Amino acid sequence: MRLIFFSFKHRYRQKELNNFLNTRIYGKYFILNLGGPFKNFIAKILLFLRIGKTISCDGRPLISDKSKGINFWMRGTTLNIPNDFKNLNNNFVTIDNPFVQNKKIFQMYPIKIKKTQIQDDLKIVYMSRIDIGSNTEEKNIWDKYKIQLIEDFTLIDNSNFWKKISLNCKDEIKTFNLYKKLKFFLRFEIIENLKKIFNKKLNLIGDDWSMFPFNSLPSNYNIRKIKNMYKGNICLDLGSIEGSISLYPRSIQIVESGGLIIQSIQSDNKKVWKNIHNKILFNNLSDLISLIEKLLDNKNYSFTLLQEISENFRHSDKSIEKSLDKTFNILN
On whether both 141 and 283 belong to a single domain, the answer is yes
Shared domain for 22 and 131, answered yes or no, is no
Mean pLDDT of 134-150: 96
Position 102 pLDDT exceeds 70 = no
Residue 119 included in any domain? no
Domain co-membership, 184 together with 81: no
Q: Give 217-246 pLDDT, tens digit per residue.
A: 999 999 999 999 999 999 999 999 999 999
Identify the CA nearest to 106 among candidates 56, 143, 68, 49.
56
Name the amino acid, one letter, at 201: K
For the entire predicted model, the pTM comes to: 0.96
Phi, psi of 299 (to 5 degrees): -70, -30
Lowest mean pLDDT among 14-18, 114-118, 280-284, 305-309: 14-18
Q: Is residue 263 part of a domain?
A: yes
DSSP 198: H
Mean pLDDT for 282-308 is: 98
The Cα–Cα gap between 45 and 40 comes to 9
Angle at the Cα of 173 (from 94 to 168), degrees rounded to 5? 120
∠ CA 265-192-215, nearest 5°, is 120
Cα-based distances in Å from 52 to 258, 309, 318: 34, 34, 20
Same domain flag for 75 and 177: no
CATH number, domain of 296, equals: 3.40.50
Domain with 81, as residue range(s), is 2-111+316-331
Alpha helices of the chain — where are they, by DSSP H?
A: 12-16, 37-49, 136-151, 159-166, 172-198, 223-230, 249-256, 269-273, 277-280, 285-297, 299-312, 316-331
User: Same domain, yes or no, for 78 and 195?
Assistant: no
The predicted-structure confidence for 263-275, as pLDDT tens digits, reads as follows 999 999 999 999 9
CB 98, CB 243: distance < 8 Å: yes
Query: For residue 198, what pLDDT is reported?
Result: 98
* Calpha distance 249→230 (Å, rounded): 14
Strand 260-264 to 202-205 pairing: unpaired
How many independent structural domains does the chain possess?
Answer: 2
Specify if 14 maps to a domain. Answer: yes
**Does a structural domain hold residue 131?**
yes
Residues 39 and 18 placed together within one structural domain of the fold: yes
Give phi and psi for 6, each to the nearest 5: -85, 130
For residues 78 and 191, membership in a common domain is answered with: no
Tell whether the model's pLDDT for residue 213 goes beyond 70.
yes
Residue 74 sits in the same domain as residue 193: no
* CA 301 – CA 323 distance, rounded (Å): 32
Q: Are residues 268 and 236 in the same domain?
A: yes
Domain assignment present for 116: no
Query: Is residue 75 scored above 90 in pLDDT?
Result: no
- Does residue 217 sit in the same domain as residue 300? yes
| Residue 217 DSSP one-character state | B
Question: Is residue 117 in some structural domain?
Answer: no
Cα distance between residue 148 and residue 21, in whole Å: 41
Element (H, E) at 202: strand 202-205
Assess whether 86 and 142 both reside in one domain. Answer: no
**Separation between Cα atoms, residue 84 and residue 72, nearest integer Å:** 15
Do 231 and 291 belong to one domain?
A: yes
Note whether residue 10 is domain-resident: yes
Residue 261 lies in a domain: yes
157-197: pLDDT as tens digits: 998 898 888 766 778 888 899 999 999 999 999 999 999 99
Q: How many CB atoms lie within 10 A of CB 328?
A: 18
